[in-house]
Amino acid sequence: MKATQLSATLSTVVVTIFTLLLLYFYQNLSHYTMATCIPNNCFCEAINRDSFIKQFSNTLSSFTFVYLGFFIFFENKNQKLFQLFGLFTVAIGFGSAFFHASLSFLGQSFDLAGIYLLSSFILIYALYRKYHLSIGETIILLLAINFVLDIGLIFAPELRRYLVGVMVILGIGSEIFYARTEHPTIELKWINYAIVAILSAFVIWILDITKILCYPHSIFQGHALWHILSTFSIYFLYRYYKSETSK
């Protein structure tokens, strides 16, 4: 096993153990606020109310993001923005695992916060390349955008999915704008793979949450497949970014 893969594997194990311990102690609190999807809209997988892991398959599949994030992080020791990209992917995995295991409002907030981090990265990274921003300016923009989005999670949680959609559209739009104005030397096949993966994942997400295709007590869950396909989509996006040749 290569050093990068070994480091990513060990780091994933550490985060998994940390997440499970945190979940165990968190759910032993006398009271915590449940997610807004309770009681009947937390995707297809049946809720195990007697366990500190409420949805096993959806929780376990979330750690695919964690492994990929650490892989990206360790593969880019001298590229700070790609390390951020990797850590944001780890954040998605941690937040998703915490959410599906606890089905708490805190977990829901963690889950969305990770998605906001990555979607805002897509937006800002295009601006970084287009306008030759410094690393410091890029990080300040990322922090500012995510501060506003995270405030929205607290005061207007019902808007969370719409805001994700807005951020994804802005991210794709900024990347298209960059590509059409700067004409970078880049391998477009990777972004095509990413689009196919995320669109496939979204179709499965809809079938799962609407319970059109639903087997609540099966270990094979549509939402877990959504996690895995989304992880592939992030990997393809990463390969797309890495394929760009500096002018």
- The answer for residues whose C-beta is within 8 angstroms of residue 207's C-beta and 6 or more apart is 213, 214, 222
pLDDT band at 157 (very low <50, low <70, confident <90, very high): confident
**Statement: residue 247 has pLDDT above 60:** no
The residue count for the chain: 247
The Cα 11–Cα 16 span in angstroms is 9
pLDDT band at 125 (very low <50, low <70, confident <90, very high): very high
pLDDT tens digits, one per residue of 171-194: 989 999 999 999 999 999 999 999
132 is in an annotated binding site: no
Question: Considering the chain, what is the average pLDDT of its residues?
Answer: 93
pLDDT of residue 29: 79
pLDDT band at 133 (very low <50, low <70, confident <90, very high): very high
pLDDT band at 66 (very low <50, low <70, confident <90, very high): very high
pLDDT band at 41 (very low <50, low <70, confident <90, very high): confident
pLDDT of residue 118: 95
Q: Is 155 or 20 the better-scoring residue by pLDDT?
A: 20
Cis peptide before 184 (omega within 30 of 0): no
pLDDT band at 30 (very low <50, low <70, confident <90, very high): low
Q: What is the pLDDT averaged over residues 197-215? A: 95
**Statement: residue 143 has pLDDT above 60:** yes
The Cα 192–Cα 189 span in angstroms is 5
pLDDT band at 38 (very low <50, low <70, confident <90, very high): confident
- Which residue matches tokens 């996006």? 237
183 is in an annotated binding site: no
The Cα 234–Cα 118 span in angstroms is 9
Q: What is the pLDDT averaged over residues 106-111? A: 93
223 is in an annotated binding site: yes
pLDDT of residue 160: 80
pLDDT of residue 158: 79
Q: What is the pLDDT averaged over residues 110-124? A: 95
Q: Report DSSP letters for 41-93, one per residue.
A: -S-SSPP-TTSS-S-HHHHHHTHHHHHHHHHHHHH-TT-HHHHHHHHHHHHHH
- Confirm whether pTM is higher than 0.75: yes
First vs last Cα of the chain: how many Å apart?
Answer: 34
